[in-house]
Amino acid sequence: MKRFVVGIVTISLILSSASASAHEGMWLPMLIKRLNITEMQANGLNLTAEELYDINNASIKDAIVSLGGFCTGEIISDQGLMLTNHHCGYDAIRSHSTVENDYLTDGFWAMTREEERTNPGLTAAILVRMEDVTDIVMAELKEDMTEAQRASKAKEIGDSLVTIATENTSYNGYMRSFFHNNEYYLFVFNTYKDVRLVGAPPSSVGKYGGDTDNWMWPRHTGDFSMFRIYADAEGNPSDMSPENVPLTPKHHLPVSLNGVQEGDFTMVFGFPGSTDRFLTSTGIEQAINLFNPTVVEIREQKLAIMKQAMDADDAVRIALASNYASTANYWKYFIGQTEQLKKNRVKAKKETIEATYLNWANADEGRSDYAGALDLLDEAYSLTDENVKSQVYLQEAGIRGASLPLYAYRLGRMLGALESSEELEDDKLSILQYAEDHFSEFQPDVDRKLAYALWSMWMENIPENQQPAIFAEVRDSMQGDLAALVNEVYDNSVYSSKAALESWMENMDFESLSDDMGGRVATSFIMTYFGVQRGNAEVREKMEKGYRLFTDGLRKAMPEKVFAPDANSTLRLTWGVVGSYDPQDAVHYDYITSIDGVMQKEDASNSEFVVPERLKTLYNAKDYGQYADENGDLIVNFISNNDITGGNSGSPVINGDGALIGTAFDGNWEAMSGDIFFEDKLQRTISVDIRYTLFIIDKYAGASHLIDEMTLVKKKKRRKRRK
């Protein structure tokens, strides 16, 4: 989830001088050679920078996949087999599940290629190359331009650079800004559109510990699932087709059976979504007091309503599983972030950094623009404080609350366009397809309850002049009876059922659309959204200019520190070491967990902690095969101090020799403030030990044909782990 406040910063170096144990930084692969390779090699990397990232020869980057733009995957066979998290494959697994064939509960394994399942809309993008285009863009951005003018100029240049880079190729691309519009890079991809589900463990393995253990260590979750990328016969991206064949990748990761020990080198390649490491102290205050608690209060309500319906009906449970899981994920995230921003005293740390910045800015008259940047930001925050809550309501209770309004908005535009359509039959087909997708998940009773509950909160908790106009109508012409509005929407709108749409299609009465209450609610929400956007132009100007100058100035004020850019869903590499930590006084957390802990947490009365029978049988027989460690234990998860965030889910954890040792899937509770300030001593990446993944595939699921595809590596002798 994206915070709406454009965020910003961090500097761990002020507080703890640069040391080999500080591992902040999501680095751009093309800059590794210049910025990081020496330190990485000194800490256990046995590869060259070219073996990590090269545009002329195969390198590790060729095995890294942006999965659907929301997660990461890694290719682990020469036949396009891809590994990612269970929670990344969750929606795909759900989409193939029914009450009779419940793959969420029981797991799914394709025993042949024919049994692999297609997933319309799911993509796998592999980076072809990236390029620093900062100079090209900056040459066109003039001092007297507003931030909005700069952005539109940059976009124009970016679009033409993408066109040039992709013309007459199978490629697609985009340009992104870095360091708050101070640098620009171009990215070119091959994006594959036929990505099939190969396997997934039952949720009692893949989601073991549920929301209770989410964002926590010690952890015992087999959070993995597998897909296969298909391409045309030449290996190029192609729409889904039975003619497609498994992709032969330029590179696939070998899989190590050697496991990890404290201090081992680790690197994580992936597509982290967003961090706010330059966020100012004022921004932190707004997050703690306004933004975060509002998200939490709305989601709490949403989750309670969904859970009640899901517990009562299996079909509803499956239909809403993915929506529920992602809602719960960031509900808990924002609780944790607020708690840890306070505990880790992040605001005070930022104030120290801001003081350093101001000293630098005030030391020279030529830096007056820089000197004003923090004031600009303070002004912007005080102007937004007043409507942060209403913006969160608009997002969380409106646009992503009940699902009907967004569907109504999108479908409404498609229906309206039919009036002047030149390809009526085709357009009608896409409309029916879109409706089909929507209604496969839509639960009318739950959605109605969500609408009533969330819109009530909205009417009650937000000043009337910041509410959508439709609520004024409820007060004025419906005697304040929100239920009357909700019933009209859910009983009579063309957007409330597939049947209603089909019957509209028969005579296509375009006039009826403007009176449709579902459509009117949607329009009212969206108009409020655009109104807020317009109203915010002045604030955005201050916010963007403030952060652009502050970020640039801070890098100049601290020339000894090598800053890494915030995450922005582009390919990054972060390196670190495996290591335990001390979450609080007198408490020590080991760096690995084992299957013993799975059994210790077992609670048959709690759906989050049910252990499947077959796993118990294997455990009782200690039947771990080649996946046991040197002590005969089966390791489940491990932690390292790599710097990751949402979007990195599914990322490979790679050892110093370039072999896969784990799959990253989470962060730890004590460092939930980490997207805003990296916590050197506390912050950890939680990963599934690859041997647990292989054990589940092989011993638990009997899908050993998948193991046979992989390139397994095992050293003969390994020191014994200290117990």
Contacts with ligand ARG by CB under 6 A lie at 87, 207, 210-211, 214-215, 325, 329, 646, 649, 665-666
Give the distance, in angstroms, between the CA of residue 673 and the centroid of all CA atoms in the same chain. Answer: 16
State the Cα–Cα distance between residues 111 and 626, nearest whole angstrom.
Answer: 22
Least distance in Å: CB of 364 to ligand ARG? 43
Residue 293 burial by Cβ neighbours in a 10 Å radius (0-12, 13-18, 19+) = middle
Specify whether 21 is catalytic: no
CB of 32 to ligand ARG, least distance (A): 24
Alpha-carbon span 662 to 691, nearest angstrom? 8
Of the pair 215, 227, the CB lying nearest ligand ARG is at 215
Q: Is 649 a catalytic residue?
A: yes
What residues does 231 pair with on adjacent strands?
245
Backbone angles phi, psi at 592, to 5 degrees: -135, 155
Please provide the DSSP assignment of 395-449 as one string. Answer: IIIIITTSSHHHHHHHHHHHHHHHTT-SSHHHHHHHHHHHHHHHHHH--HHHHHH
Which is nearer to ligand ARG, 238 or 593 (by Cβ)? 593
Q: Please report, to the nearest 10 degrees, the dihedral formed by the alpha carbons of residues 80, 83, 88, 90 taken in order.
A: 90
Find out whether 264 and 56 touch, Cβ atoms under 8 Å: no
SS (H, E, C) 507-564: HCCHHHHHHCHHHHHHHHHHHHHHHHHHHCHHHHHHHHHHHHHHHHHHHHHCCCCCCC
The answer to whether 179 touches 555, Cβ cutoff 8 Å, is: yes
Which is closer to ligand ARG, CB of 207 or CB of 438? 207
Q: Which is nearer to ligand ARG, 212 or 440 (CB)?
A: 212
Nearer to ligand ARG by Cβ, of 207 and 347: the residue is 207
Task: Determine how β-strand 712-713 pairs with β-strand 255-256.
Answer: parallel
Task: For residue 613, list its beta bridge partners.
Answer: none
Which entry of 62, 223, 516, 689 is annotated as an active-site residue?
223
223 is catalytic: yes
Residue 245 DSSP SS3: strand
Contact (Cβ atoms closer than 8 angstroms) between residue 240 and residue 193: yes
Which 8-state DSSP code applies to residue 22?
-
Nearer to ligand ARG, 59 or 338 (CB): 338
Q: For ligand ARG, which is the closer residue by CB, 36 or 683?
A: 683
> Which is nearer to ligand ARG, 43 or 266 (by Cβ)?
266
Among 12, 54, 59, 87, the active-site one is 87
Cα–Cα dist 571/26, whole Å: 9
Nearest one of 604, 675, 702, 688 to 3, comparing CA atoms: 675
| Smallest separation, CB 88 to ligand ARG (Å) | 8
DSSP letter at 18 equals -
Catalytic machinery residues: 87, 223, 649
